[in-house]
Amino acid sequence: MNPLRPDFFADLPAVDLSAANGYAGGTIERRAEGRTNDSVAAALTEPGARTVLFQGDAALIRTASPATAYFSVDEARAASASDDMLLLGYEAGVPILAATIPPDAPLDAEVRAVDLRALAAEGPIADNQLGALALGRSLTQWHQRHGFCANCGARTSIANGGFRRDCPSCDAQHFPRTDPVAIMLAVRGDECVLGRSARFPAAFYSCLAGFVEPGETIEAAVRREIAEESAIVVGRVRYHSSQPWPFPSSLMIGCHAEALSTAIRRDEAELTDCRWFSRAEVKTMIAGTHKDGLFIPPPFAIAHQLIKAWAERA
């Protein structure tokens, strides 16, 4: 590197900020270039192959210490796992697959079905396994919802290790989708904007958010969503981090937004409240010491990291 030329990345943090977000700790090697229609069958014969299992919207966890979301292939089959297993990839050379079990399938005494939000909040399993669960849940739900060809209506079949569905009627190929969502904290000086929707718990406030629409940049989506939900005009937009969000399969794109106006006119169909908070008040919300009991999302949520990064900045 030329010592007289500044490092192109010098103004970026030395650590990956996305790594602090829940579900972002996956270490699976996807080996996409090697996927074939025979990949699952081959993986099932490999010693040590592991599976993540889902019952409805919940993931199965073996609660023995240490808790784990990984089951052997034999354990998966004993739990009535579906024959249509999906190959997520490899971890330390070991295949990691995903499968579903029937809603009424009995569970062993040491196995429980847990919502993925609860898993991220409670932290009973390793980050790499939480990342595998996020990938597995997104992929299994996509297959459950896309069993028929969008082109001709014929039933499709699993292909390419589970990362594609093929139509035998019109030869169309269908691939899993990820929906981009802009989530942002509008800030102005020592104040930021937080809102709450009717579905939130009482006293819970968070960042504004919304889906990125076709033909839209991330910055444009941030400005549009803030304007639609609060009527605040936004100038500059700064990317912070991202988070895989398996509900069912979104990518949360976290940003800070420069508010150019202060008057709020909230979207009453979306929000029950939306207002400015001072940095000092937000710090008490983070610490859980707010005088009125107001609080923000837990640390695994990207909204928490966006709020905390702004609040702690001098």
* Domain regions of the chain by residue span: 19-142, 179-311
- 């192959």: which residue's tokens? 49
Q: 19-142 with 179-311: one CATH topology?
A: yes
Q: What is the band of 118 on the pLDDT scale with cuts at 50, 70, 90?
A: very high
Is 314 a residue whose pLDDT tops 80?
no
Q: What average pLDDT score do residues 251-268 get?
A: 98
Q: What average pLDDT score do residues 206-210 get?
A: 98
184/194 Cα distance (integer angstroms): 10
Each residue's pLDDT tens digit, 38-47? 999 999 999 9
Give the number of other Cβ atoms within 10 Å of residue 163's Cβ. 19
Q: Check residue 6 and give its pLDDT.
A: 73
Lookup: tokens for 167: 């139509």
Is 86 a residue whose pLDDT tops 70?
yes
Q: Check residue 288 and give its pLDDT.
A: 97
Phi and psi at 251, nearest 5°, equal -120, 110
Q: Check residue 4 and give its pLDDT.
A: 61
DSSP 42-104: HHHTSTT-EEEEEETTEEEEE-SSSPBS-EEHHHHHHTT--S--EEEEEETTEEEEEEEE-TT
- Please state, for a pLDDT cut of 70, what percent of the chain lies above it: 98
Of residues 221, 227, 229, the one with CA closest to residue 255: 221
Pick the CATH number of 179-311 from 1.20.58.410, 3.40.50.300, 3.30.300.180, 3.90.79.10: 3.90.79.10
Each residue's pLDDT tens digit, 164-204? 999 999 999 999 999 999 999 999 999 999 999 999 999 99
Lookup: tokens for 159: 């292909």
Is 28 a residue whose pLDDT tops 90?
yes
27/133 Cα distance (integer angstroms): 11
Architecture of the domain spanning 19-142: Alpha-Beta Complex (3.90)
- Whether a cis peptide bond, with omega within 30° of 0, leads into 66 is yes
Lookup: tokens for 5: 């030329």
Of residues 249, 241, 208, 239, the one with CA closest to residue 225: 208
